[in-house]
Amino acid sequence: MRLAEKRHSMRMRWGVFFLILLLFLLVLADIGLWQPAVRVEHITISPSDAQLNPLVQKALAGTYAYIIPRDSIFFFPAGAIRSAILSARPDVAAVSIARTGFSSLAIKLDSRTPLARWCGTAASSSPADILAQDIASSVDGSCYLFDTTGFLYARTPAPHIASTSVTFASTTASTAAPLVPFPLYAPLASSSAPFLNTIAHAADLPPLFDLARQMHSFGTSVNAIVLRGGEADLFLASGTRVTYILGKEQQAYSLLEAVKNKISLSNGSLVYVDLRFPGKVYFLPVSAVKKKGG
């Protein structure tokens, strides 16, 4: 036999040897993965939620290609567990999963922070200057908590609307009070049901709420906000409506500052203040409406 043929034959033998060795090691590793010592048996969920345990166990059931158990501590399906929990708990913003041993997992739930309540939409394309007539409540009559992304994730009771006040029932232990105390009436991103929907103008809400908080510097507070088209109506506790172009919060505040010694937003003397036009402040006194009606 020639030298070249001998070398080729030797390489073939070594190749077969290493292939057999590799298969042996893979089988050995697979046997190891099926051992109870490295299978997920203990699951801790924080905050505790017994209803989620069956969902996690279901995600861990079965195998990958009939070879590797899904509850292996080395190959557990973190993505499937996370998706199952987020689908079952819309109030959860994020799920972190960590190994705490060779047979245990720790799952931490991060709840959404409620920004405000969505309670419906504008009743029409033009304001009626009376909050109860300016709003159309949600179909089921409830409000919904939403987070900073505008995502509606939890149902809450609707407010009681009086002539000069808006009040909510006491917050339950399972529902955190939102950062913004007054309700929002705004269009949604889709025509589907409010639950799990998103507010259409979510990106415009932070500066809008900042402007609403600044109404305290004029001696009043906001009862509710109504969005219609590209405009925002701030219904004040005094009964006055303040309207401006959404996204123009700084200009609106500057205009109010410029006329704060000429008009009052706190004593109920104005029906509305219109800030939609650059450099202009239009307002309607209540006395003018009464005189006209008389």
CA angle, corner 40, sides to 36 and 45, nearest 5?
155
Structural element, H or E, at residue 242: strand 241-245
Phi, psi of 159 (to 5 degrees): -80, 160
Locate the domains of the chain by residue range: 33-111, 116-293
Residue type, 151: F
| DSSP per-residue codes, 254-289 | HHHHHHTTT--SSSS-EEEEE--STT--EEEEHHHH
Task: Give residue 102's Cα distance to chain centre.
Answer: 35
- The pLDDT > 90 percentage for the chain reads 73
Three-class SS of residue 58?
Answer: helix
What parts of the chain have a pLDDT lower than 50?
Answer: 173
Q: Quote the pLDDT of residue 18.
A: 73
- Work out whether strand 231-236 and strand 222-228 pair parallel, antiparallel, or are unpaired: antiparallel
| CB distance 167 to 117 below 8 Å | no
Q: Quote the pLDDT of residue 214.
A: 97
How is residue 293 written in tokens?
A: 């009606």
Phi, psi of 216 (to 5 degrees): -65, -30
- Work out whether strand 116-122 and strand 135-137 pair parallel, antiparallel, or are unpaired: antiparallel
Q: Which residues of 265-291 are buried (b: 16+ CB within 10 A; e: fewer)?
A: bbeeebbbbbbbeeeebebeeeeeeee
Three-class SS of residue 96?
Answer: strand
Helix axes 205-213, 249-259, angle to 10 degrees: 20
Hey, which residues does 161 pair with through a beta bridge? 166
CA torsion sign, 179 to 184 to 190 to 191?
Answer: positive
Q: Quote the pLDDT of residue 158.
A: 87
- Count CB-CB contacts under 10 A for residue 75: 14
Residue type, 131: L
Q: Quote the pLDDT of residue 228.
A: 94
Q: Quote the pLDDT of residue 166.
A: 80
Distance CA 120, CA 132 (A): 12
Q: Quote the pLDDT of residue 239.
A: 93
How many Cα atoms sit within 13 Å of 78 on the Cβ side? 13
At which residue do the structure tokens 């609707």 appear?
Answer: 158
State pLDDT tens for residues 260-278: 999 999 999 999 999 999 9
pTM listed for this prediction: 0.84
> Residue 159 gets which letter from DSSP?
P
Q: Quote the pLDDT of residue 173.
A: 45
